[in-house]
Structure 1
Amino acid sequence: MRVVIAPDSFKGTASAAEVAEAVASGWLGERPDDDLVLLPMADGGEGTLDAVAAAVPGSERVPVTVTGPDDRPVETAWLRLPDGRALVELAATSGLTLLDDLRPDTAHTTGFGQAIAAALDAGATGLLLGIGGSASTDGGVGALQALGLALGTAVPAGVTGAAVLDHVPPVDASTLRALPPLEAVVLTDVTSPLLGPAGAAAVFGPQKGVTPDRVPVHEDRLTRWAACFPDVDPTTPGAGAAGGTGFGLLAWGAVLASGATTVADAIGLPDAVAGADLVVTGEGCFDLQSAAGKAPTVVRALAEARGIPTALVAGVVEASVDGFALAASLTVIATQTTGEPDDALRDPLRFARIAGARFARAQDA
């Protein structure tokens, strides 16, 4: 058999490459003669830069030090692509995993904007901007300030992140840096609008530490932010991504695109899938949001279009797996193996190998 293994990262526990290698190891232990193609995936969030760097010959990591979401310096990199464009990953500059403690009011996207500015300073002719995994609900105001946005009112010293939105409108967008010639394409993994019950504050705020009683406060802040740019539609699918950073980048003039689809094209996944007998994908938590453009759904769609079955491996499964030929939850496997479901978080690669072995054995059933 020829098997393509293309999981996303298991956020905070294992990279996409590590998961792919673990599944492959388990598979080969049962079927050592099969042809396995490992293509770690991403959808704009954590691991996007790594996935593209591994798959695009001639790409180059360019080191940069930025201000992290809690003001500590972060040593990271952006990716220079052979065609002159730059890939910048928000998770690596302003991401949730960079925090020791959640900071719902003060975490910010300044570092993301600084890395974008560094890429432009280095002559990037276009931008691919992965925005999953944000630590903040600041609407991207930190990033835009780093790109030159001026606020029309004074912000008290020490005020950062979503709290900055208490001091808008107005803003002066005329001071923003110009877009590069090949534009800025935003890679997003969600289709949420900026505001409302499906928006940035209500859906994603709790992930960033926003308590239920504070959701209306953040909703009001983002409403004020939307009023700064009356020509930008806050209901645009993806405007609510990354705590509203999607909207902020739309206000800059960027365009939104499916992160997983763009990454899949960049790493050559459609061609690889075309010759496969089975495709394995996955992510840390497969839930209702997964159907809104996250990597496993995009990978499955590519396989389905070619009549190829797909298997899912996930840390936890919280949504229907109809449409997958096989599915494995690492939490369930851990419970069956050790009696401790939390072992799936402590050692996900051990149970990913077991999942790979089970998938392989299923081919002989």
Structure 2
Amino acid sequence: MGIIAFGIWYLQLTNRHKAIVKTFLLHKTGIVDNDWRINNDQKEYKMLSPTFIIDGIYKSMEGPKASRYIQLNQSDSIVWITGFKVKAVDAKTNATLSNDYICHMNVDINEIQYYNHWKLEDRIRKQYPRMTSLSHGLEHFDFPKGYGVPIVGSHFLFVITETLNHNQPDIFKKVKHEVSIKYEAYNKTQKPLMSKTVYIQLPFDKNDPFKGPLDPASNQCIPVETKNHTYNDKAGNMLSGHWVIPPGKKTYRSFISEQLQIKDSARLHFSAPHVHPFATSICLFDKTENKTLFTCKITNYSNKIGLKNIETFSSEKGMWMYENHEYELILTCDNTSKIDQDMMGSMFLFFYDKELENRISKI
């Protein structure tokens, strides 16, 4: 009776939650390995994920995943994170596979530990503590020369990596993700970066969230779901950061000044976008000056669903942004399929951190 009840419960789950349950059981029973393999050579922290079984279509944020806490080393010295990389490999042969099996790889800081160490306690819980994310189409990047994110070697980072499969319904493949974090010793010349996450949030009807079609002229959306990536604005309106796009071309825009929390001014040096397939560009727009600050072009595959390349913004000189300006994220999409698809649009923005540099100089 218990097995039947479990089966009924399992069949009612979404694809995403089925993957969570399957992966947990496979790892817990030892049917596939659940160990992370670590290799740290003092310049690049590398680790190999547990085995993921891809046994069907897994759209963005649905696939098997794993997570763990890491330390770049065991010392109390400062190291500077300078880049990230993730790639898919065959679980048995370790041969490199298509990046089509990579959904995303996230790196979070322990914000209480991190900001208490630098005596910047006023920053705790002001932003989501995600340092950055890699995703399909942007599987690696390096910060501009001379810049990085400082961290004490023994402090904890939280890494999560998730699989993807948009195109192969008939598949049974064992996959691992190789994750790399590049870092270097502090030589008193590097400039520290502070990460801020901004993302498009679109209003939806909280009383009937999944009703469509919507007025094409409205800024409303139909959310993928109302439990995750759902927010409230100051007026009490419901907003979604994960929404449905219909076939055809469409532009979405969202104010992000409250998310930026700029005090007086800030100098931007790097941006890593995160989008889903069928996005074609994402830009940072200065509404006050009515001008585009930069646009990251996005290239989709023409013969399958997936992102071939996502451009980043990178500048040693930097770009100034101001507290008294209004900023928007603008995302363009071209859903060339004949069905609705899901979408997100965000950027990880890295600003020069003068306050943190002053703290580090006193150590």
TM-score (norm 2): 0.26
Normalized per residue, the structure richer in strand is: 2
Normalized per residue, the structure richer in helix is: 1
